[in-house]
Structures are given as C-alpha cells and as structure tokens.
Amino acid sequence: MFEARLLRSSILKKVLEAIKDLLTQATFDCDDNGIQLQAMDNSHVSLVSLTLRADGFDKYRCDRNISMGMNLGSMSKILKCAGDKDTVTIKAQDNADTVTFVFESPNQEKVSDYEMKLMNLDLEHLGIPETEYSCTIRLPSGEFARICRDLSQFGESMVISCTKEGVKFSATGDIGSANIKLAQTASIDKEEEAVVIEMEEPVTLTFACQYLNYFTKATSLSPQVQLSMSADVPLVVEYRIPDIGHIRYYLAPKIEEEES
C-alpha cells in the first residue's frame, strides 16, 4: 500500500508544470524515503531529477517500494481538477495497475477522486557522477526566467560566462546581440533577492535557450535558483522546493563543430 498526502495540492501542480514540457511520461519511484523521478527527454539532451522527501508530506506511507509509470499529460489533466487549497492524497495498492488521486476541499465538503491507469515503462537507471563544479551561481529565480526569456529572442543559444567580476549571459542572432551582466550582491539584506557567486575557475559554456525556457517553468516552486557549471560537463539548474525537496535539471552544453 502506498499513500502520500499533501496539504496543498499547489506544490504537486507546480511540479508537474515544471516537467511536463520536457517529458511525456516518467516513472515515479516511491520508497521509505520519499518519491523520486529521474528521466531524460527523448533526444537525451536534458535530464530531470525530482526528489520529494517523505517528511515533507503531511502523511506518508510506503509498505513496499513501488515504481509507477505515469503519462504526465494525463496526470496534469487530473491535477488541473484540484483547487489550489485542496488537500491531495496519492494512493496505490502494491502491484496495482492504477493510481488514485483524492482531492478534498479545505472544509471537507467536497471530496473527489480520480483513478489513472499506470504505464509499463522501461526502467532507466542513470548514474550521475558526483562532480565538483568550478562555478556555482545563486540568483533570484524570477530574474533567471526573465534573462532566459529575453535572450531567446536574439538567438537559439545562450552563452553563460562566469568570471570573478560576475556572470554574463549573452546571445547573438540576426537582429543583433544582447548581453546581461550580473554582479555579486554587495550586502545581503534579503537572501531571496541576492546574487551569490562562488567561483574557483572561470567557465564559459553555450546552451540551447529552448531547454532553459523549459526549466524556468519551475520558477514558481522556489524564490532562488542555483546554476552549477564546469567546463565540458552538463549544466545543473536546481530549484529547492521549500520543506520537501528539490528539482534539478541537467543540460548538455552545445559544442563547437569539430573541423572535419
């Protein structure tokens, strides 16, 4: 028997919004510690890694480890039926081929349940090596979303370059070029609005704007976002979801055409 209850359905709704553009289907692995999801998009350019810890739920019970393959489009449709303030409970029997979502209104007057068929997906195990990153940049998530949106008007790809002066985002295209520089915040009054840069070595990498724009769908989950970069390895974009877990996106960099 698996049962997980969240007081606010809005978190789950936002999580789904943050992944459903990248993935059409995915496996939710549930065990004692919580719910995990790891999957690459079809073209193997980006990876989504989601963790929701058991202690973040209002009630969490998982007798046996289960993996539930879900169609994210269908799941999103179901979650749209929930009010933001509704409580949501996810339930499944051991070895079941369906999962049930129960929504309860705050005053307990309306209870609705939705049953969804599970999918038999192949299990993909991803080994992500532990990496020490040369640069980590923390900035307000809204600011990052804005930068990605603005720069994607100029070109398909964006260069992120981190030096000791600060971090620079730039794009070039048919209409011209754009550069946005952010310097480290001098005095931190509000942690949520700060730009913090930790750098051991300067790094410059190029990424596809399209994917970054998919990632920033997670903006409403967290006031801050953290970017980690090292030369020639995937970028990590991390949103910490307060009190319950995090969502991490990995993105393969664009590489200079080898001269053949």
Partner 1 sequence: MGILGLSKLIADIAPHAIKEMEIKNYFGRKIAIDAYMSLYQFLIAVRSEGSQLVSVDGETTSHLMGTFYRTIRLVENGIKPVYVFDGKPPDMKSHQLNKRAERREEAEKELQKATEAGDQESIEKFNRRLVKVTKVHNDEARQLLKLMGIPVVEAPCEAEAQCAAMVKAGKVFASATEDMDALTFGTNVLLRHLTFSEARKMPVQEFHLDDVLKGLELNQREFIDLCILLGCDYCGSIKGIGPKRAIELIRQHRSLEEILKNIDTNKYPPPENWDYERARELFLEPEITDPKDIELKWTDPDEEGLVKYLCGDKQFNEERVRNGAKKLMKARTGTTQGRLDGFFTISTTPNPKRKAEEDKKNAAKKKKASVGGGRGRKPK
Tokens standing for residue 54: 């058991």
Residue with Cβ nearer partner 1 (129 or 176): 129
- Residue 119 C-beta: closest distance to partner 1, Å: 9
- In contact, 50 and 15? CB cutoff 8 Å: yes
Residue with Cβ nearer partner 1 (96 or 196): 96
- In contact, 121 and 69? CB cutoff 8 Å: yes
What track of x and - describes contact with partner 1 for positions 188 through 217 (by CB under 8 A)?
Answer: ------------------x-x---------
Q: Using the Cα atoms of residue 251, residue 256, residue 257 and residue 260 in order, give the sign of their dihedral.
A: negative
Q: Which stretch binds partner 1 (CB under 8 A): 43-51, 56-64, 81-89, 193-201?
A: 43-51
- Residue 231 C-beta: closest distance to partner 1, Å: 13
Considering only 157, 161, 184, 216, the residue that binds partner 1 (CB under 8 A) is: 157
Q: Annotate 110-148 with b (16+ C-beta within 10 A) or e (fewer).
A: eeeebebebeeeeeeeeeeeeeebbbbbbbbbbbbbebb
Q: Which stretch binds partner 1 (CB under 8 A): 79-87, 103-111, 126-134, 160-168?
A: 126-134
Tokens 């991490």 correspond to 248
Considering only 1, 111, 128, 188, the residue that binds partner 1 (CB under 8 A) is: 128
